Structure 1
Amino acid sequence: EWEEGAAEALSTFRIAADFCEEYDGFVFCHNEALLYEWIEEYDRELFERIRSLAARGKWHIMGGWLLQPDCNMPAGEFFVRQILWGRQYFKEKFNVTPTVAVNVDSFGHSRGLVQIMNKFGYKGYMGMRPSKHFIDLPDGGFKWKGYDDSEVICLRTGGYSSGKGKVGIKIRTYVDDCAENDIGLCLWGIGNHGGGPSKEDLDTIVELQNEYKAQDVTLVHSTPEEYFEEIGKKDLPVIEKSLNPWAPGCYTSQCRVKQKYRYAENTYFTVESMCTRASMDNLIEYPKTELREALHDILTVQFHDMLPGSSIKDAEEMGLRMLDHALEILSRLRAKAFFALASGQKKAPSDKIPFFAYNPYPYPITGDFVAEFNLWDMVWDKCYFSPVVYDENGTVISSQCEKERSTIPIEWRKRVVFSATLKPMSMNRFECAFEKKEEKPKADVEATDTHFLVNAGDKVVEINRKTGLIDCYRDNKTDYLKSGALALEVWQDNYDPWYMETTKWDTKIGEFKLLNQAEATEFMCLKEPIDSVHIIESGAVRTVIEAVFGYNRSRACVKYIISSNGELETDIKMEWLEKQKLVKLNIPTAFVNAKCIGEEPYGREEMRDNLEENVAHKYLTLFNDTNAISVLNKGTYGSSLEDGALKMTLLRSPSYCSHPINEEHPTMPKDRFMQHIEIGEREFCYKIVAGEKAEILNKSARLAQLYNSEPMCLSFYPTGMGELPSESVTLADTDIVQMTAFKKAEAGRGSVIRLFNPTADKQTATLKFNEKTARVCFGKYEIKTVLLDENGFAEADIMA
């Protein structure tokens, strides 16, 4: 847990400071602003001592991030915030700006990091993984090219530690292995993460320096910057891919942390945007302190043993606790901004219930949205109140009523689903009237003895009543899925949460099967028999069909949510009771020779086939020459491909922090019970969109962002006081470019808009605010930072 980390930092830094003063030439190199924050808070005297050593060149600040994060799963913007936090801290406290980023212990590295580091002025990058067993990389350094063709020099290091009293062995081995090289970099230290120096090892290095001097070999205590300055003079080979895979189990282990982390990222984006918008009209004071507190929690959970799920259970709970702390802060800020942005809204008429939806994006968004609220009073009569929703122009829009979250068997609580287009960065008003009916209308879905058939816009969906699976998803031109789609497959796994010895799961051992009627009735705690596949909602907006499955003692309730716009969602609630097994959701496309790309941090990359485990973010798109299907998710990072089928990795249940060593050191105890990960209830959400290749490839990024960062919808009665907010910021002339951040400028003057082109094609867009406009041009996968102040729009540094 973090307290142990703080204690270790205090001890290591005290010892290192002593040695810096005792040994001539010795320079202690360390990164991670978080550790320095702890030293500053818990031992101010030591902190000032370190500052003095750093000023004299005896202590070197390297890396310059808040901590060493997982380098695959954070969103691109949250890598920006990770670096920005460390940059600001080390500049303020030490007046230094490292130029070589250091993540030696992270479990692989996304290619999206290159552009981000380049924009922060980094010249080099050091990482240890993946090892040579997993990926072939040039020795001695290479140029790592990003999605946008920017570059940093990269070095795969050897092991970062040496063990107490063993530095001599490591250095001798390194020198022998690199005898033909003119320069080399050898990392040493004690402890799992490099740790600090020991007197014994420092004395050994002094002896080795004298010994090797006679052999015309110079050993120097140095820094990453000095080493990269030297290798930067060489003609280095170029690598154009992510540095993966290693430990693919970490793309899935401890899925609760991953899902809540994703939710925290998305919530932060929405709340920051709302607060910035509200402060522009002086409706609220920009809550910089509160936002930074929440952000610190989110960035801390990026730690490379926490977000990947390789930690002990206590650390898992700590990560969830930190994220809950951030989310509670954000929840309060969101409410404050929401009510402020509702300024000037007129009072509601007595016969309608008002509700509002705030769109945090600078462009219109269209979709199915949900508002849940109480009627004016409890209605005890046996009847049904059917909603009629009006937009702010008084036009009736498509809506339907669905089962509310509570279970109170009277007419009181209403959950209204409605289809709408929301104006950009604005409060959108709706009003709901109700028609009193004798009973709720019965679901009206076409059915045969074997299938439910749903016509949804230009799509047709057929759900097999005998298997519970999707047998057809097509339009009038194309079949997108093979029959038997969305099966929950079970694969053999092991005890290792890293899964560090290979890169794929290749032994399928079963599937969840549809429960029979008796099993379904028992699982759902019903007294009357119920079919295992049944309709639970049907209306003008969407149809919802539910199916219940089992595997051994585990159960799954799967909802198929079929929108009238043709999009297909699945919501999976699973009661998982299996150990050392893994679950994948099988999505077999009907495409031949399909390729697949997945979203990466500020980029996207082609996924590997043949069941190799891949890591990606909010969407994956499979496509052939003419058509495509995108799968959006809310917190799933691992997946694999086999013969045109995408297999989303939902969960796995290894033991907590069980690290294989070798056969002489068995990992799992044989004399006690050991807890396994993910035993219990878990939930997973996916959306499938399909159509022509170009259209789907272009719109998937925005759709996935909206699926994850939905508008806030809330019913309340405005006072009619105040003035409506001024004109909003808009992003026009593009339906591709994304806004990934809208925040107050770091210096406090003006607002910052971060934009991203998620395609390999050049794009242009127009920013507008009041009378101010700016044309923004993008290269492939390019990030742009734009400052908006009293002078208008201007492109700015990423640290703005």
Structure 2
Amino acid sequence: MKLGRQWDERLKIWDEAFGRNLYTQLGEIALSGFVTMEQLSLEQAMSREFRPFPRGRAWGRKWEYGWFRACVTMPEAAVGERILLHLGPGPEMLVYVNGREAGSIDSRHSMVELTARAVPGEHFEIYAECYAGHGVRQEGAGICRRGDEPVPEPPACQCKVESSHFGIHNAEMFAAYADYHTLYELWKVLPDSELRTVKIGEALQRFTCIADFEAEEPGRSESIREGRKLLRPLLEKRNGDTMPEFTVFGQSHLDLAWLWPLEETKRKAARTYSNQLALMERYPDYKFLLCCPTVLEYLKAYYPGLFRRVKEKVEEGRFLPDGAVYVESDTNLPGGESLIRQFVLGKRWFLENFGVDSRVAWMPDTFGFSGALPQIMKGCRVPYFATQKLLRCDPECQQFPYNVFWWEGIDGTRILSHIYKKNNAVFSSGALRERWEKDRNQKQEIDTFLFPFGYGDGGGGPTEMMVETAARCLDLEGVPRCTMESPAAFFDRLDGACVRNVYYGELYLAWHRGTYTAQAGIKRGVRRAEYALREAEYLAGLLRLAGGWDQEETSLQKLESLWNLLLVQEFHDVLPGTSIERVNREATEALEQVERESRELAEALLGRLAGGRALFNSLSWERRFGGLRLPACGYVRLREDSLQGGPGGCVKAAEHWMSEEVVFENDFYRARLDRQGRITSLISRAGGYEYAQEPLNQWKLYRDVNVDYDAWELGQMYEQAPEALSDSCTVRIEAYPDGSVTAVVKRQERYFTAEQRIRFRKDSARIDFETEIDWQERHRILKADFPTTVYTKEVLQEIQFGYIRRPTHKSRQYERDLYETCQHKYAVLTDGENGFALLNDCKYGLSARDSRLSLTLLRAPVMPDMTADRGVQRFTYSILPFYGPFVSGRVTEEAYECNVEVTASEFGGTVRPGDIGDIVGMASVEEETSFFRLEGGHVILETCKPAFDRKNGVVLRLYEAKGCAGETMLTVPDQVKRVFACNMLEEAGEELTPEDGRLRLRFRSFEIRTLLLEVSD
């Protein structure tokens, strides 16, 4: 208490009393309307039949929209006044006044301006599109019994029409409210001992004794006017020279999809930007951050008039276009090329639509940040990074140490970075002060902060009161000095200061660890779509390189649309699996479309390139497939007469049921398998090393009940709640004439069944676990454990364009926080001579402790999607024991081969894809072509694609994969006439000169290099 209980409560009551005196109702409004499941334009809606929709009427099925119409004529009492409008048919709506988007009404914005200065007799025609909703929007957790319905269906009528009315905005009362509220919020957070606190408190006390909210008019307004005179001198007090300086601007984080579908986001965009345009028309100094091209593209497509108004304000410098990324994506889970395209397409969109070079990676709500990002950002000419998420980690975990720092990626690239708090902030004087006092992890070498303000997640943005308060806080004694400007301007000023702190590696979010596993189908869909699209684009690049590409424009347009569709699914609430059921279903369908159409395009492009039945290997090393050797970055065309045997030539296996342990040996290892599908012994043939400390491939089921954010979280206590699994498994052995063996393990548990095909190959050190599970669990997590004998205190986990080293011990809090981490295609334990790799084709979550790797296979959260992961799930993981140093092994190559399929042309109409391997094993090669060859170093050719803006250009993206600087020789085909080093935006730099068709390239550790090849016209 500052002044004692009674005075403290009195000041609060007076603050709240203003809200009941800001508006004088002039009249009720009658509504007519209709309901629909369609997305209609205003013109389409106006052509429909509107019927009376009286107050009290219930409406609103799930996903339904209501269109409402009303007419208002200004009475004499409105003359010269600012008139506001409130409509009450439902919770969230876009309001049109005389055919123009005037603003939105939602839980944070209750009024829309009808006119700034009323003229008696003036007539207004009003339309509104109102969303009924889709039930309770749940994200929590807690106990959920199997019979419970965590996300119940909404009632048939979710909305009831409430009062609609219009009236006078009391401008003088509103200004007095802004004065009082600004000082009151500041007074609450200032130290009791400061003279400033005492003076503000005294003025507020005197105000409550003068301002009489119970008086009749005009006495009430006169008393407020007199009380306001007491406050003015305190609002005119300015700061001294040593106050921190904040950059402030309006913003509204709008999740592309989350607790609502993409279809609703399109409407939310219009509601948000109509609100902000209304504020800009009233406040000439107000500025708002314009980010996320996908949302803006929706605005452009569905609300072109509104988009034109936004563009006008961009030209005036009022809207601030920036953000760099196409969508605010997850950065842990997407592939490396996907992350690059987020920046490339985002920057291209801002440039094409607003003429702006976006320079700030604005990613406020993403769940941690990959150590590959700094190099990608620099390669896309994005020098600055901002987020608020890392300051929102679990309070039990080690807090991130800096607010202003250089972020150094795994390759050594540094990016100037700022972490602020929080994103969807209410602007108030007290919040400004608390931001500096309480929300600052870094106590030294900092004198500035970003303060974006406005309601968000579901859009909306700042309110009029926030903007009024901001105007009073530009240089108000007791709060940080504020400048309304862009985040880029903030960073430009920061770039000239002395920033000394450096943070290396990933920006790990010690929170939301369940996002690496939730919605397994989406994660598998993204992995498969990424590699399918890679194949199609690769072949498009080779076809351009080879010349004579007809229908090029059509193929390029298809590739562009598929990339756009894929990138949307990598949004930070879609790919992590934290959205409602409809979003997850639509994302799954979209990813299936990307994969299907990419593979169809790849097959067609290969047919044009090879001119017959062909097999294409996009990997930059030779690969075996069905008995054939496929050249690096090339194809083989098969003789037609050698393929006549068809599927009947498939090799058949001898089968028997397993009663005891079975032993399998090849040139790489000796393995012993038990009747639960566990490898009880795995001994290297090269060094005689035993890898199995305990049986490998132990399945473990745990209860996974989280205290908050169900789909997001994986609590650290899950291992203390194991559930027993049945030991009753059946195992069938399939032995093949070539010496390979497959063990088919079937498991029946209470709420899931599983079949696993464990493949031991005669000519490979890799053991595959091809898995199919009919998963019907709830609040459970399934892991596959691999307790090895490899003694090491760190694990190498692949991320985009390299790997990161993470500790496997738990000595300090930071190491304990890493109990679940994200990987891509592999994780490796190595002592320098003996190594064990765990590979996968779509599993990202992993826990590593001491010498044990535990791959997270499936989860079963119930909120916000109570159907999460239920159904048939398919995936493959593999183990690869190896002898010798990691850098000389084949872990990276084998991991790619687990994920990258061989593209085949002209087989589809003759044989099923699963039969191709057996058939081509008997085929002979008519032609073999390799386009690129890499020699020396540890470099991988990740991407080959047609250049964006050069019709005779092909772009290659290569990276050093094993953390070893070195040199590689790249052989290019004769069609290449000139080669340029370029950045990831494909802006050409130094020209490189091949010698005899070979380029000598030097790479730093984990360096990504992009080359632009020009071919003859």
Q: TM-score range by the shorter chain?
A: 0.7 to 0.9
Q: Aligned partners of 1:436, 1:10: CA distance in 2, in Å?
A: 56
Q: Structure 2 matches for 1:186-201, cutoff 5 A?
A: 186-192=451-457, 195-201=460-466
1:509 aligned residue:
722
Contact 1:188-1:194 at 8 Å conserved across structures: no
Which of 805, 808, 824 is the equivalent residue of 1:606? Answer: 805
1:684 aligned residue:
875
Secondary structure of the residue that 2:719 maps to in structure 1? coil
Contact 2:638-2:927 at 8 Å conserved across structures: no
Q: Aligned partners of 1:490, 1:542: CA distance in 2, in Å?
A: 31
| Matching of residue 152 in structure 1 with residue 359 in structure 2 | no
Secondary structure of the residue that 1:82 maps to in structure 2? helix
Work out which of the two has the higher radius of gyration on C-alpha atoms and give 1 or 2.
2
Q: Aligned partners of 1:222, 1:293: CA distance in 2, in Å?
A: 35
How many percent of aligned residue pairs carry the same amino acid? 20
Contact 1:751-1:789 at 8 Å conserved across structures: yes
2:681 aligned residue:
472
Secondary structure of the residue that 1:126 maps to in structure 2? strand
Which of 847, 850, 855 is the equivalent residue of 1:648? Answer: 855
Q: CA deviation at 1:712?
A: 1.6
AA in 2 matched with 1:558 = Q
Q: CA deviation at 1:627?
A: 1.4
Q: Aligned partners of 2:645, 2:859: CA distance in 1, in Å?
A: 46
Secondary structure of the residue that 1:513 maps to in structure 2? coil
Q: CA deviation at 1:114?
A: 0.7
Q: Structure 2 matches for 1:483-522, cutoff 5 A?
A: 483-494=694-705, 496-500=709-713, 502=715, 505-515=718-728
Alpha-carbon spacing, 1:299–1:19, altered in 2? closer, same or farther (3 Å): same
Contact 1:608-1:614 at 8 Å conserved across structures: no
AA in 2 matched with 1:484 = P
Q: Aligned partners of 2:650, 2:827: CA distance in 1, in Å?
A: 42
Q: Aligned partners of 1:701, 1:299: CA distance in 2, in Å?
A: 25
Once the two structures are overlaid, the 10-residue window that deviates more, 573-582 or 447-456, is: 447-456
Secondary structure of the residue that 1:149 maps to in structure 2? coil
Contact 2:826-2:840 at 8 Å conserved across structures: yes
Q: Aligned partners of 1:514, 1:17: CA distance in 2, in Å?
A: 65
Alpha-carbon spacing, 1:29–1:703, altered in 2? closer, same or farther (3 Å): same
Instruction: For residues 571-628 of structure 1, give each alpha carbon's deviation from its aligned partner in whole angstroms, at most 9, with x where no partner exists.
Output: 1111222210100011122212353111112221123435700101111111113111
| Matching of residue 620 in structure 1 with residue 845 in structure 2 | no
Q: Structure 2 matches for 1:666-685, cutoff 5 A?
A: 675-685=866-876
Contact 1:638-1:649 at 8 Å conserved across structures: yes
AA in 1 matched with 2:946 = K
Q: Aligned partners of 1:504, 1:774: CA distance in 2, in Å?
A: 53
Q: Aligned partners of 1:207, 1:366: CA distance in 2, in Å?
A: 68
2:635 aligned residue:
426
Instruction: For residues 100-127 of structure 1, give each alpha carbon's deviation from its aligned partner in whole angstroms, at most 9, with x where no partner exists.
Output: 1110011111111011001112221111
Q: CA deviation at 1:139?
A: 3.6
1:747 aligned residue:
949
Contact 2:790-2:851 at 8 Å conserved across structures: yes
Once the two structures are overlaid, the 10-residue window that deviates more, 448-457 or 752-761, is: 448-457
Alpha-carbon spacing, 1:677–1:151, altered in 2? closer, same or farther (3 Å): same
| Matching of residue 228 in structure 1 with residue 491 in structure 2 | yes
Alpha-carbon spacing, 1:280–1:605, altered in 2? closer, same or farther (3 Å): same
Contact 2:838-2:879 at 8 Å conserved across structures: yes
Secondary structure of the residue that 1:647 maps to in structure 2? strand
Once the two structures are overlaid, the 10-residue window that deviates more, 291-300 or 6-15, is: 6-15
2:195 aligned residue:
none
Q: Aligned partners of 1:175, 1:122: CA distance in 2, in Å?
A: 27
Alignment coverage as a number of residue pairs = 692
Once the two structures are overlaid, the 10-residue window that deviates more, 502-511 or 16-25, is: 502-511
AA in 1 matched with 2:660 = T
Which of 743, 759, 764 is the equivalent residue of 2:967? Answer: 764
Secondary structure of the residue that 2:286 maps to in structure 1? coil
Task: Structure 2 unaligned segments of length 5 or more: list them.
Answer: 1-260, 811-817, 911-925, 975-995
1:411 aligned residue:
none
Q: Structure 2 matches for 1:359-508, cutoff 5 A?
A: 359-361=617-619, 363-367=620-624, 369=625, 417-418=626-627, 420-429=629-638, 431-432=642-643, 443=654, 450-465=660-675, 467-476=676-685, 477=687, 478-494=689-705, 496-500=709-713, 502=715, 505-508=718-721
Which of 578, 581, 591 is the equivalent residue of 2:790? Answer: 591
2:734 aligned residue:
536
1:519 aligned residue:
none
Which of 561, 570, 582 is the equivalent residue of 1:314? Answer: 582
Q: Which has the higher contact order (CA 8 A, sep 6+)?
A: 1
Which of 314, 324, 346 is the equivalent residue of 1:86? Answer: 346
Q: CA deviation at 1:717?
A: 11
Q: Aligned partners of 2:869, 2:658: CA distance in 1, in Å?
A: 38
Secondary structure of the residue that 1:480 maps to in structure 2? coil
| Matching of residue 126 in structure 1 with residue 386 in structure 2 | yes
AA in 1 matched with 2:500 = L
What is the TM-score of this pair, normalised by structure 1? 0.81
Q: Aligned partners of 2:557, 2:666: CA distance in 1, in Å?
A: 47
Q: CA deviation at 1:442?
A: 5.9
Alpha-carbon spacing, 1:192–1:450, altered in 2? closer, same or farther (3 Å): same
Contact 2:658-2:733 at 8 Å conserved across structures: no
What is the TM-score of this pair, normalised by structure 2? 0.64
Secondary structure of the residue that 2:634 maps to in structure 1? coil
Contact 2:432-2:479 at 8 Å conserved across structures: no
Alpha-carbon spacing, 1:459–1:214, altered in 2? closer, same or farther (3 Å): closer
Once the two structures are overlaid, the 10-residue window that deviates more, 451-460 or 30-39, is: 451-460
Instruction: For residues 231-288 of structure 1, give each alpha carbon's deviation from its aligned partner in whole angstroms, at most 9, with x where no partner exists.
Output: 3212331101211132000000001000001100011111111122123332443311
Secondary structure of the residue that 1:230 maps to in structure 2? helix
AA in 1 matched with 2:582 = D
Once the two structures are overlaid, the 10-residue window that deviates more, 71-80 or 36-45, is: 36-45
1:657 aligned residue:
864
Q: Structure 2 matches for 1:233-244, cutoff 5 A?
A: 233-244=497-508
Q: Aligned partners of 1:215, 1:632: CA distance in 2, in Å?
A: 56
2:543 aligned residue:
278
Which of 373, 397, 404 is the equivalent residue of 1:141? Answer: 404
Which of 438, 451, 476 is the equivalent residue of 1:213? Answer: 476
CA RMSD of aligned residues (A): 2.9
AA in 2 matched with 1:123 = P
1:349 aligned residue:
none
Instruction: For residues 672-713 of structure 1, give each alpha carbon's deviation from its aligned partner in whole angstroms, at most 9, with x where no partner exists.
Output: xxx241222212201222212425665322321222112123
2:435 aligned residue:
174
2:357 aligned residue:
97
Alpha-carbon spacing, 1:726–1:475, altered in 2? closer, same or farther (3 Å): closer
